[in-house]
Amino acid sequence: MTFSIKHLLLPVTMLLVAFSGINTNAQQLGPYPPEVAAWDDATKQAQRDAGTKMLADVDAAIKSGQKNIVVPKADYRFDKLLTNRRPMHIMWRDLDGVTIDLQGSTLWFENVRTGIVLANNKNSTLKNVNLDWDPLPFTQGRIMHIDHKTQRMHVKIDNGYDQPINEFTEFPNHWRGMIFNPKTRLLKEQVIGFALDVKWKDRTPQGYQIVKLNGFYGVKLDKSGIEVGDDIAMLRRMGRAMRIENCENNVMENVTCFASPFVTYAQNYGRGTSTFRKVNILRRPHTNRLIGANADGINVANMQYGPTLEGCRLEFLGDDFVNVHSVYNRIVWQNAPTEVVSSLINGYAAKDANEGKPVEIMFFDRKTMKLLGTRKIIKSVTNNSYPVSQDKCLFNLKDYFRSGIAAQYKEGAKTARASILTLDKPIKITSDVVTTIPDFISAGAVIKDCYFIGSLARGIRLQAPKTIIENNHIENTMGFGISMSGQPSYWGEGPYVHTTVARNNTLIGCGIGPANRENPAIYVRQGGDYTLSDTQYDITIENNVIRNSGGMGITVRGVKDLNISGNTIEGYYLYKVHKQTKPLPDDISGIGYGIVLDSITNLTLQNNTISQPGPFAKGDVFKVRIK
């Protein structure tokens, strides 16, 4: 392995030049292309009328049994919402074998709520459509002044991005911010994660919006990495651009979203798989928008099989580009040796069990993720109002999940949804236990030939097994470029990663945030005690190119049968190591190294090249507890 000091890397220089050209043009643009910005009220009303007619025509075609529905290309606008709970603008449901082709139309949504819901569909396709919002679900501007005493910033709102007090701007709390380098328009490195308090229209005499920073982990403005002159996008998280629920073998093709109030493409529950082919999230061309969406790009959860992503492009998002996962269930109580009370399990698994099909369930000690046993569910009974009390709960209700149905079980809750499970064999449970149902953990994803740039969080957040990640470009991520792990401690998402390959990917400028824990470009570590857990195995990381990593290039902890071969790391530990939260001991941390390997059984490590260590690097490869 080579080891030389070259801090100024050519790819970064080239990238700065490329984005500087974009920035010059961006200063002359606004939130919408000129031809769109010129639309008057009459034009927009005509688009609303066209949208109403289009929906009626599509509904009529569906009812008549048509399987290939072709919509004339146009701009369609929607200002009315369906339902009061989790409202949306459009609902297409109960389709079987139907293709809706919008031929390059743009759908304009006027509320910061979900654009489209696809529900209970089988073998159906949505293709050739663009989605956008008017007004936008975010605003942006430039930081003109910072008051360290009050933790407030003054932001000059960019032309065209001011809004009246509306559903987006009326709430003062729980805003988020994204900071950009004004020259490159990339996410700025070494900026903390933070929330904002925003009383909209609270302006200075110069007309600047006043916002207050709430830095995560109590970090103040002087340690935030934010400076006067930085560009900032300010947003809240409300409706999804598209929700895909309880679908089977659905396809989206040539679908592009230019804005989203929260997660862009959110798929949850269903049999079969899903395909995202040339599905994009973009800063709208011919505008100066800073972001493409307010949160995750493609988030797929609790499916029978994982999704296939092919040729997608995702740009400048307020959370992960891709998240493939399922939720853990928690065992609430044990009624008998073969009967347990669980947080509500996957409905498809419950249905299969009640129809006599074998449904495997795996029990893990939550603290260590050590497997306690495997059983079959032979019966599942749903209780939608199960009483919640600490004296009838095996885990501490103060230590609750932040995601999924199991999050209903927390201190102060009166009732929650539960599944009463009858098992084929006895099991003894006396502590905090989580479960997975292997048939419904989104296993088998394929993510290939995609281009991802600009994530406030991670690139690909993989939490499911049997996945292939290949030939992707991942760039400018504050967190990991690729992570493989479950989170049984906080989010309750997971469950684990095994039998997975990440190969031929290019990762540039990943892990550039000031993380309070290790922040490599590629990260593999199971939540819990990775020295005891046996959930992660058979993982290959090969022929990837990693450039300009903020911290480590590759870190793997707690894996059996690991192959790391043919990877190139050019530039790592470009930034200083910040104070760590729950740091690992020095003798196992590997801080400062290009590749860190800890608690590995059966390791193949060959033909990797490590060069251009940054100013905070210590060495190339760190190995500890290798068997």
* Per-residue pLDDT at 23 exceeds 60: no
- Total domains, the chain: 4
pLDDT of residue 27: 65
Last residue of a domain, one of 233, 255, 283: 233
Residue 65's Cβ-count burial label (10 Å; 0-12, 13-18, 19+) is exposed
Whether residue 360 sits in one domain with residue 265? no
- pLDDT for position 11: 41
* 130 and 163 co-located in one domain: no
Domain check: are 431 and 574 in the same one? no
Does residue 61 lie in a domain region? yes
Beta bridge partners of 522: 482, 554
Q: Are residues 290 and 157 in the same domain?
A: no
Is the pLDDT reported for residue 15 higher than 60? no
Query: Rounded mean pLDDT of 583-603?
Result: 96
Q: In which residue are the tokens 């749903």 written? A: 382
Q: Show which of 218, 233, 248 is a domain's final residue.
A: 233
By the 10 Å C-beta count (0-12 exposed, 13-18 middle, 19+ buried), 459 is classed as: buried
Pairing of strands 593-606, 554-565: parallel
- Written as one letter, the residue type at 369 is M
CA distances to 287, 529, 591 from 586, rounded to whole Å, are 48, 17, 8
Same domain, 225 and 356: no
Let me know: does 118 contact 92? Beta carbons within 8 Å: yes
pLDDT confidence of 559, banded at 50, 70, 90? Answer: very high
Q: Using alpha carbons, select from 554, 556, 586 the residue that is nearest to residue 573.
A: 554
pLDDT over 60 (residue 4): no
Is the pLDDT score of 153 beyond 80?
yes
Q: What is the DSSP string of 316-333?
A: EESS-SEEEEEEPEEEEE
Which helix (H) or strand (E) segment is 600 a member of?
strand 593-606
186 and 285 share one domain: no
The per-residue pLDDT for range 174-230, each reduced to its tens digit, is 899 999 999 999 999 999 999 999 999 999 999 999 999 998 888 899 999 999 999
User: Percent of the chain beyond pLDDT 90?
Assistant: 91
Q: Say what the pTM is.
A: 0.95
226 and 252 housed in the same domain? no
Do 282 and 334 belong to one domain?
no
Query: Based on the domain organization, do 506 and 390 belong to the same domain?
Result: no
- Does any domain span residue 450? no
Residue 271 placed within a domain: yes
Residue 409, domain CATH:
2.60.40
Does residue 216 share a domain with residue 167?
A: yes
Residue 403 domain-assigned (yes or no): yes
Mean pLDDT score of the chain: 95
Dump pLDDT digits (tens) for 245-262.
999 999 999 999 999 999
Do the domain assignments include residue 539?
yes
Is there a contact between 443 and 305 (Cβ–Cβ < 8 Å)? yes
> pLDDT at position 22, please?
45
pLDDT digits (tens, 9 = 90+) for 268-312: 999 999 999 999 999 999 999 999 999 999 999 999 999 999 999
Q: Is residue 608 part of a domain?
A: yes
- 512 and 596 together in one domain: yes
Q: Is the pLDDT of residue 516 over 90?
A: no
DSSP bridge pairs for 300: 267, 324
Instruction: Kindly report the number of other CB atoms within 10 A of residue 175's CB atom.
Output: 23
Residue 544 domain-assigned (yes or no): yes
In 3-state terms the chain splits into helix, strand, coil percentages (rounded to 5) of 10, 45, 45
Q: Which letter does DSSP use for residue 60 in this model?
A: H
Q: What is the pLDDT of residues 70-108, one digit of tens each?
A: 999 999 999 999 987 899 999 999 999 999 999 999 999
Q: Are strands 313-317 and 339-343 parallel, antiparallel or unpaired?
A: unpaired
Q: Any idea what DSSP says for residue 44? A: H
Single out the residue in 189, 205, 233 at which a domain terminates: 233
pLDDT of residue 322: 99
What is the chain's Cα-based Rg?
A: 25
As a whole number, mean pLDDT of residues 356-374 equals 96
Region 393-417: mean pLDDT is 97
Strands 242-245 and 75-78: unpaired
Domain that holds residue 94: 34-135+238-295
Of 410, 331, 326, which Cα lies nearest the Cα of 375? 331
Regarding whether 210 and 180 lie in a shared domain, the answer is yes
What is the model's pLDDT at position 26? 64
Give the separation between CA 534 and CA 372, rounded to whole angstroms. 11
pLDDT tens across 229-242, in order? 999 999 999 999 99
Q: Answer whether residue 282 is part of any domain.
A: yes
